[in-house]
């Protein structure tokens, strides 16, 4: 370790584009039980917590100006993993290009997982953060890997699911937040030495509140006792307890919780964070977790709220989706509180801001039925008849190409080949390629739409959930050479629509217009990691094209 205190040097946040309004829920069930929620984010048919994590992480790394290849610690938090087992950080790391030697940790088991992941990274990076309170020792007694200089990447992604007609189900949203922590600065970048946000103090508190929120063994939906007073106490007591513990150990110069600029807190609905704010004598207006327009984002909520706090900073821009420059303003203070079901909470007081990059806008309004389909509540399995069998070993062998678009440059003629195997497409020599990453953006050169009735068998579940989807060929250019890649296009309506000050955007295309009609050859697209299909019980992930503005 180099002895410098760990700093948060960048943040990213991501939410799916689909929005389900509380009015639509009320139309279906008579009322919406999600207090303080106007709309919720609904994952697309090819999204899950792992793809959202990748999207947020990539933004955080870009904002922090850190390369994934330099990451020494990857910590991932979710209560809704796409599979129960195995460990997900190897795949998430592969999506991003995190070295195989980086340390990895996963946090789950409750909605405190996101802030626990942050605590884990802070502990691993050392520094002089004061942590006090009940449970503090348990969190830092060696679970974090030691000897990490950084950067550390902390990612929390969640997409909770409740019963269709209860308060958890009505509030269920989806999002991911990511932070990059470091003890130093990028090589050759003196200017950023002082940038970033510093954790001034931490506190923890835990007490046994059984049954307030959780999933029974084998269940998909999160539920609870629905005992109002008990539930509120089970949320408020650990939250305020952790903050009290934090205050006890905070520097004398630290502001009182009632004076912080932002409160980033777990938000199962819009009511409970406000009650905690009230108990802390802090204005509810300072809550930055976007529960009103994203819904319950579970373990991701506090990190998304923290990133939002950085985005607003001392000089709020009002733009929800953009890259925000670092201010490093020490006078901006955020209280980040993670509250987990079962009565555990931790709190961190963070001074300053960091550059962030977010995509939290909604570009498509979906009906209640659409939401049920997208969330796989009323759709079926892949049909009989089989699909093209690309074996898991074969898939693994090509993962760099599938996740990160690693292509081959011919050492003889310089031509690019994708994937990097077989004879060079240009000089036809059987060569050993130099591995190169294709640029972030390319041009769509052909496109068509695949209707649900015409989808290949392995894509039928996706088509049933998300409807028709565009496919095309994307041309990437690198050092004067071009190479074409067949790609599915996701989020086809993602481009070219201005948002309002709240960051909300609505599609200007009728809801029934096919996705494929929204993209055309000539469009500029980037690439993101999404679910491709599931076979043999293994989710296959891969790069898909996504429209970009430039």
Partner 1 sequence: MTDAYIVGAGQSAFGSYPEETYRSLFRTAYERAVPDDVDGDRVNEAYVGTLGVGGRQIGLSGPAVTEHLGLHGTPCTRVENACAASGYALRQAVLAVEAGVADLVLAGGVEVMTDTSAEATKYWLGVSGETEWERMAGTTFTGVYAQMADAYLREHDADRRALSAVAAKNHANGARNPKAHLRFECSVADAEAAGVVADPLTLYHCCPTSDGAAALLVASEEVAASFDDRVRVAGFGASSDHVGLYDRETYTAIPASERAAATAYGRAGVDEPRADLDFAEVHDCFAVAELLAYEDIGLAAPGEGARLVTEGVTAADGAFPVNTSGGLKSKGHPIGATGAGQAVEAFEQLTGGAGDRQLDDPERGLTHNVGGSGGAAVVHVLERAGVTGA
449 touches partner 1 by CB under 8 A: yes
Query: What is the CA angle 246-247-250, rounded to 5?
Result: 85
Nearest residue (CB) to partner 1, 179 versus 487:
487
Instruction: With beta carbons less than 8 A apart as the criterion, state whether 224 and 231 touch.
Output: yes
Q: How many residues does the chain have?
A: 550
The reply on whether position 147 binds partner 1 by CB under 8 A is: no
**Part of the chain binding partner 1 (CB under 8 A), chosen from 60-68, 326-334, 388-396, 408-416:** 388-396
- Name the nearest CA neighbour of 95 among 372, 403, 391: 403
Do 337 and 240 touch, CB atoms closer than 8 A? Answer: no
The least distance separating partner 1 from the CB of residue 397, rounded to whole angstroms, comes to 10
Of 450, 494, 525, 528, the one binding partner 1 by CB under 8 A: 450
In the complex, the smallest distance separating the C-beta of residue 427 from partner 1, rounded to whole angstroms, is: 13
- Residue 459 as a binder of partner 1 (CB under 8 A): the answer is yes
Q: CA–CA separation, 172 vs 374, rounded Å?
A: 13
Closest by Cα among 1, 57, 10, 36 to 352: 10
As measured in angstroms, the least distance from the Cβ of 93 to partner 1 is 22
Binding pattern for the stretch 21-60 against partner 1, x by CB under 8 A and - elsewhere: ----------------------------------------
Cis preceding linkage at 467, omega within 30: no
Closest CA relative to residue 330, chosen from 257, 254, 244, 258: 254
Count of residues engaged in binding partner 1, rule: CB under 8 A? 44
Among 127, 211, 255, 387, binds partner 1 (CB under 8 A): 387
Contact, 83 vs 53, CB < 8 A?
no
Binding flag, residue 501, partner 1 (CB under 8 A)? no
Minimum CB distance to partner 1 smaller for 278 or for 486: 486
Residue 5 or 517: the one with the smaller Cβ distance to partner 1 is: 517
Residue 178 backbone phi and psi in degrees, to 5:
-145, 145
Stretch that binds partner 1, among 79-87, 366-374, 500-508, 536-544 (CB under 8 A): 536-544
Nearer to partner 1, 258 or 391 (CB): 391
Of 233 and 390, which CB lies nearer to partner 1 in the complex structure?
Answer: 390
DSSP string, 7-43: EEEEEEEE--SEEEEHHHHHHHHSS---TT-SEEEE-
Under the binding rule (CB under 8 A), the answer on residue 385 touching partner 1 is: yes
Report the alpha-carbon distance of residue 28 to residue 486 in Å, rounded.
Answer: 40
Q: Are 16 and 61 in contact (CB under 8 A)?
A: no
Q: Structure tokens of 540?
A: 């296959």
**Binding segment toward partner 1, per CB under 8 A, in 161-169, 302-310, 454-462, 494-502:** 454-462
Side-chain half-sphere CA neighbours of 127 within 13 A: 27
Which of 50, 488, 518, 523 is in the footprint of partner 1 by CB under 8 A? 488
Sites of contact with partner 1 (CB under 8 A): 383-388, 390, 394, 398, 418-419, 425, 445-451, 454-457, 459-460, 462, 469, 471-473, 484-488, 514, 516-517, 521, 532-533, 540, 542, 544
């Amino acid at each position: 370790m180099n002895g410098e205190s760990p700093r948060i040097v960048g943040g990213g946040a991501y939410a799916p584009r689909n929005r389900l309004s509380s009015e639509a829920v009320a139309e279906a069930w008579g009322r919406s039980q999600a207090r303080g929620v106007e709309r919720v984010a609904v994952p697309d048919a090819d999204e899950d917590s792992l793809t959202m994590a990748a999207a947020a992480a990539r933004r955080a790394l870009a904002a922090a100006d850190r390369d994934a290849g330099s990451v020494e610690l990857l910590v991932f938090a979710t209560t809704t993993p796409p599979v129960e087992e195995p460990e997900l950080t190897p795949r998430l790391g592969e999506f991003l290009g995190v070295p195989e030697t980086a340390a990895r940790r996963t946090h789950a088991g409750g909605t405190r997982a996101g802030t626990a992941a942050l605590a884990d990274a802070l502990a691993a990076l050392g520094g002089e953060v004061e942590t006090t309170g009940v449970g503090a020792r348990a969190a830092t007694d060696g679970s974090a890997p030691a000897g990490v200089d950084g950067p550390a990447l902390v990612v929390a992604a969640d997409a909770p699911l409740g019963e269709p007609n209860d308060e958890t189900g009505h509030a269920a949203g989806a999002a991911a937040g990511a932070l990059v922590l470091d003890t130093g600065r990028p090589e050759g970048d003196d200017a950023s030495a002082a940038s970033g946000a510093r954790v001034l103090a931490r506190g923890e508190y835990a007490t046994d509140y059984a049954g307030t929120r959780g999933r029974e063994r084998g269940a998909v939906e999160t539920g609870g006792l629905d005992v109002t007073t008990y539930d509120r106490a089970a949320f408020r007591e650990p939250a305020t307890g952790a903050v009290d513990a934090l205050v006890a150990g905070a520097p004398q110069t630290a502001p009182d919780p009632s004076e912080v600029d932002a409160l980033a807190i777990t938000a199962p609905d819009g009511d409970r964070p406000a009650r905690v704010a009230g108990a802390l004598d802090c204005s509810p207006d300072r809550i930055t977790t976007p529960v009103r327009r994203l819904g319950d984002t579970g373990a991701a909520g506090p990190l998304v709220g923290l990133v939002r706090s950085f985005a607003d900073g001392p000089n709020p821009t009002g733009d929800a989706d953009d890259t925000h420059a670092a201010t490093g303003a020490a006078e901006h203070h955020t209280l980040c509180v993670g509250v987990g079901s079962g009565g555990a909470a931790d709190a961190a007081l963070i001074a300053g801001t960091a550059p962030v990059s977010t995509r939290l806008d909604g570009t498509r309004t979906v009906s209640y039925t659409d939401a049920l389909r997208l969330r796989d509540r009323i759709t079926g399995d892949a049909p009989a008849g089989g699909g093209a069998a690309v074996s898991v070993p074969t898939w693994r062998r090509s993962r760099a190409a599938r996740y990160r678009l690693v292509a081959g440059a011919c050492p003889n003629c310089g031509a690019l080949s994708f994937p990097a195997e077989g004879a060079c497409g240009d000089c036809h020599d059987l060569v050993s390629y130099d591995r190169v990453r294709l640029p972030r953006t390319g041009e769509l050169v052909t496109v068509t739409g695949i209707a649900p009735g015409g989808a290949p068998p392995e894509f039928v579940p996706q088509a049933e959930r998300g409807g028709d989807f565009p496919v095309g060929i994307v041309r990437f250019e690198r050092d004067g050479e071009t190479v074409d890649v067949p790609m599915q296009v996701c989020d086809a309506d993602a481009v070219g629509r201005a948002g309002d000050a709240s960051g909300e955007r609505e599609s200007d295309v009728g809801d029934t217009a096919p996705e494929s009609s929204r993209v055309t050859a000539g469009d500029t697209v980037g690439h993101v990691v999404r679910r491709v299909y599931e076979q043999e019980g293994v989710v296959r992930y891969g790069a898909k094209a996504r429209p970009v503005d430039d």
